[in-house]
Structure 1
């Protein structure tokens, strides 16, 4: 069972999110918060698999709450759910360790997909957000590609294989099947890649994989 804490300052949004997630029998909302500070406290208390946070909330905004959650309970995956897709929000969320970024106006099925992906150790961006990220990367692709290729030279061949599949959005379980490894081995390789490249999360790893040419734009 995937356990989720939902945080949004609008009660109707919380009810809607709970209702959508309730359609998946493998997901349970264990607590709801009306502001960012309460969200951090509930995550500390319940230790869920996923914290689903709105960005604009009182007392503590979602981005600051995400940073506190990642620092206090790093095993909890953070997914941002918001009406806003400004570039600054996206970059700050992903740079702060969020595993996903979802828009409230998106198809409700994306919510379940994003929560499941985060709980499984993968990353998920709403397609509109993914397109923005790719467009930003393409803007300075040549210089960033050279730097990314230099950085991944420190990886072993197996670690590069794993990085490429992380870049394709695969979960640890999917990577294990693809490379005929145990899931524990995949987790160890992912941790090694993040450590060697000084990355905070799988989203950042996926970006490096893209920049280094391990993932193509159409993917």
Structure 2
């Protein structure tokens, strides 16, 4: 007999977490731990070594932060994010953090076991619409202005990445604001955040860092 899949469920909204747990148990999945914040989710996952962990994106402590830690310390655990929002920042930041799946909370809980099994099997555990958005992100010619795998790029949020690629493409602050449905002030705030993260004084210095190709590993 095949052993049941072992899963940790982390979400600070207890009624929702209960529904998720019940759906997984009904599908024959062993829920080996439940958490309400990022710290407990990380600790439970490391301690129990499950096949997968479901993480609420916006739970206390940050689900994406927990995903990044788990992916680094327990790479064999499939990380699947749960969220109420299909915001691009959350989607792309989750993928950069190492998530193997991204599921909206309005999904039928009965669909979660299938999503987990796909993630564990190495498949994309997300809706076709979200897959299309991910593909579009990587196909966009503007993205080739920068080296996505560079250490500098890894520090940026998805929105900061969008802002900087558009600015590097020659768009003005007002044009970037209009394209991303932001105010010009918000665009400038994103730029300031990028300069601080990259520890540079101006946009051109930031562009130069973001264009640097990632170093190749020896061997």
Superposed pair shares fold, TM > 0.5: yes
C-alpha displacement at 1:131, in angstroms?
2.8
Change (3 A) 1:143 1:56: closer
Query: How does the TM-score come out when normalised to structure 1?
Result: 0.60
Q: 1 CA distance for matches of 2:56 and 2:41?
A: 10
1:120 counterpart residue number: 121
1:54 counterpart residue number: 56
SS of equivalent residue, structure 1 residue 94: helix
**1:50-76 CA distances to partner (integer Å, 9 max, x unpaired)?**
010000011x20000001111111111
Q: 1 CA distance for matches of 2:132 and 2:143?
A: 18
Moved more, 103-112 or 2-11: 103-112
Q: 1 CA distance for matches of 2:127 and 2:110?
A: 11
With a CA cutoff of 8 Å and minimum separation of 6, indicate the structure with the bigger relative contact order. Answer: 1
**1:169-197 CA distances to partner (integer Å, 9 max, x unpaired)?**
xxxxxxxxxxxxxxxxxxxxxxxxxxxx9
**1:93-136 CA distances to partner (integer Å, 9 max, x unpaired)?**
11111110000112334311111112223331123312322333
Instruction: Please give the root-mean-square deviation of Cα atoms over the aligned residues, in Å.
Output: 2.3
2:137 counterpart residue number: 136
SS of equivalent residue, structure 2 residue 33: strand
Q: 2 CA distance for matches of 1:142 and 1:89?
A: 18
SS of equivalent residue, structure 2 residue 42: helix
Contact 2:137 2:143 in 1 (8 A): no
Q: 2 CA distance for matches of 1:30 and 1:138?
A: 39
1:31 counterpart residue number: 33
Larger radius of gyration: 2
Change (3 A) 1:71 1:9: same
5+ residue gaps, structure 2: 146-215
1:42 counterpart residue number: 44
1:7 counterpart residue number: 10
Query: How does the TM-score come out when normalised to structure 2?
Result: 0.60
Q: 1 CA distance for matches of 2:66 and 2:82?
A: 13
Q: 2 CA distance for matches of 1:47 and 1:102?
A: 22
